[in-house]
Structure formats: C-alpha cells, structure tokens
C-alpha cells in the first residue's frame, strides 16, 4: 500500500509515528499498517471475490488475514511551481484473485504558505475498473493517519473537533468538518489539523478517533458508529454503503495542516457577545485552522 511518511513541521520535527518504517524511541508497535498517511478501505466487495481488505493488508507476520487485497503503485509524477508543488500517482487495487477492482488517481498539492506551517491537499479519485464494487459501511476508510507519541492523549496530547468534541470520548463517531490534534513535540506545541471538504459524500463525515493518536475519516462510516455515545442520534439510520457501477468514479478531497500551536487560540479572542451574534461555539484552536479551512472550503 502506498503511504506518505513522515509528516514534518515547519521547524523540522516529525509529527507522525516512525514505526514500522523508522521507529522512534518509545513508539508503539500496534497497527503497523498505519504509516504516516494512508488511503484504503477495510471492507470492499465485488462479485468476483466477495469482501476483501484494502486497509490492514500488510504481509505476514503483521497480518494473516486470508482475504487481503493489494494496492500497487503504477505511476508517479511531480511538478514544481512558484507557490506549490504536486505529487501525482496512479495505483491499482487488485483483489486476492488478481482482478483489478479500483483505479486510484491521487494528486497531493504541497503549499509554501502559511510560511510557518506545512499544508497540503489530497485530491482523490476512485474508479470502479472492470466490475461493480461496493464500499461497505465501515470506520476504517478512506484516509488514515497515525501521529507520534506526543499526540497520544496519555502523554498530554489533545484533539478537538469543529463542534467542540474533545479526544476519543467526545469526537469518535461525531460528524464534523475538521479536527485539530495538538501535542508537545520536543518542547514545541504543534497542531495537526485534518479537513473534510464540503463536496465530499456525506459531508460532514464521522471521524474514527483513537486516543493513541489515530485519525480516520471517510464517507462510508455511518451506522457502524452507533455503539459510541459521542455519535449523533441519527447514526443508527445511516447506512453509508456505496456501490460504484463499472466505470463510475468517486471524487474526494482532504486537507492537512501542520501548524504552530503556541499563543492564544482563536476562540479566546471572541467576546461573549460575538459568540452570541455568531450563534456558534468556536473551539479553542489556532486561528490558522479556521483561516485555512475557510479558504479551502470555498474552492470547487
């Protein structure tokens, strides 16, 4: 499975877990498929092969599942620009039987601004290649990120989502436009924000948040989240299974912002009257999170 690793802050500090690619001291060794940033799904089916796993699909000894798909990189292209650069790729998703189920086309655009941050967009297209394919309602899809130990809530890391949910207990299964996870990395407070684009299917999507610094988000996690108290009261009705007919395409967009998290949060700057007039509660996160999301969400 292709993956993007490591993610580095503007100050040169890694924010993603090193294991298993280049383990750092104290790294946890669970879930080795979560390397930096990944794209996949745990439950994908097609007539030629039933349900197969394109998420936890590392070879033995990590995983010994009998029905694992395989995502194979086919093509990579890069381009430079004055204020951004792009990394584009094509990958083929093969079933265990060798059938081509999905053609993945991905473009990642890396920006020079904000100068004190690192920001990139992921534009993703998934095409049903040779037969109908079905994405089952599941929480392990589409985008997965595993941050480093400083972001683990047991080490004073803290996640907040756009509607004020805090950490796994308050944000797992909640629908929200974005999340922001802050940790102390070698004495520097750094935040990693992940944004869900308004054009995405089922926006705002539900987030699979784990306190050990895992973030999953995708358009297929509906009623699978009904067991979590933090989910909304409509979750039990939301079967977000999707079938793509042969040749149909699903387009998705995500943005990741790695930003300084020192100083007053944007929410601190709002008076009680401003909050009342706004009729919204602004979670206490860095102003860059609001600025970068609002600029991006208006793009088509």
Listed by start position, the domains of the chain span 3-297
Say if CB 104 and CB 93 are below 8 A apart: yes
Instruction: Read off the tokens for 56.
Output: 């936890």
Nearest to 109 by CA among 91, 130, 83: 83
What pLDDT score does 231 carry? 86
What are the 10-residue block averages of pLDDT along the chain, 300 residues in total? 95 94 83 90 96 85 76 97 97 97 98 97 98 98 96 96 93 96 96 97 97 98 92 89 98 98 66 52 81 88
Strand residues in the chain grouped as ranges (E): 3-4, 37-46, 50-54, 70-80, 84-94, 100-111, 118-128, 133-135, 141-146, 158-161, 178-185, 188-196, 207-210, 214-217, 242-244, 249-260
Cross-strand partners of 145: 37, 215
Give this prediction's pTM.
0.93
- Note the Cα 196 to chain centre separation in Å: 8
Of 244, 284, 248, 288, the C-alpha closest to 268 is: 284
Q: How far apart are CA 195 and CA 248, in angstroms?
A: 25
Find the distance separating the first CA and the last CA of the chain, reported in whole Å. Answer: 29
The CB density around residue 166, as the number of other CB atoms within 10 Å, is 15
Cβ partners under 8 Å of residue 122, min gap 6? 37, 39, 106, 107, 108, 143, 253, 254, 255, 256
46-67 burial by CB neighbour count: b if 16+ within 10 A, else e? beebeebbbbbbbeeeeeeeee
Check residue 279 and give its pLDDT. 46
Q: What's the length of the chain?
A: 300
> Residue 265's pLDDT is what?
67
Instruction: Specify whether the CB–CB gap between 32 and 19 falls below 8 A.
Output: yes
Q: How far apart are CA 47 and CA 92, in angstroms?
A: 18
Distance CA 73, CA 165 (A): 37
Q: Is 212 left (phi over 0), alpha (psi -120 to 50) or beta?
A: alpha
Q: Is-contact 258 286, C-beta < 8 A?
A: no
Query: For residue 170, how many other CB atoms are within 10 A of its CB?
Result: 16
């Amino acid at each position: 499975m292709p993956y993007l690793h490591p993610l580095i802050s503007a100050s040169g500090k890694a924010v993603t877990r090193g294991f298993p690619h280049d383990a750092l001291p104290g790294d946890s060794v669970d879930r080795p498929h979560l390397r930096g940033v990944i794209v996949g799904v745990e439950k994908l089916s097609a007539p030629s092969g039933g349900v197969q796993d394109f998420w936890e699909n590392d070879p033995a000894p990590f995983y010994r599942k009998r029905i694992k798909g395989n995502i194979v990189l086919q093509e990579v292209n890069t381009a430079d620009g004055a204020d951004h650069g792009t990394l584009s790729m094509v990958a083929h998703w093969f079933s265990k039987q060798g059938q081509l189920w999905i053609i993945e086309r991905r473009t990642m655009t890396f920006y020079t601004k904000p100068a004190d941050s690192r920001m990139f967009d992921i534009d993703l297209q998934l095409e049903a290649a040779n037969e109908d394919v079905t994405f089952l309602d599941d929480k392990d899809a589409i985008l997965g990120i595993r941050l480093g130990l400083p972001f683990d809530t047991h080490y004073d890391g803290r996640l907040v989502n756009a509607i004020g949910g805090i950490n796994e207990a308050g944000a797992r299964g909640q629908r929200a436009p974005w999340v922001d996870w802050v940790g102390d990395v070698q004495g520097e407070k750094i935040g990693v924000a992940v944004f869900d684009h308004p054009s995405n299917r089922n926006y705002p999507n539900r987030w699979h948040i784990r306190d050990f610094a895992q973030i999953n988000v995708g358009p297929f996690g509906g009623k699978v989240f009904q067991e979590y108290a933090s989910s909304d009261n409509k979750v039990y009705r939301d079967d977000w299974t999707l079938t793509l007919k042969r040749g149909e395409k699903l387009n998705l967009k995500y943005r990741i912002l790695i930003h300084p998290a020192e100083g007053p949060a944007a929410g601190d700057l709002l008076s009680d009257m401003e909050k009342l007039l706004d009729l919204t509660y602004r979670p206490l996160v860095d102003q860059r999170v609001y600025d970068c999301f609002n600029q991006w969400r208006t793009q088509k």
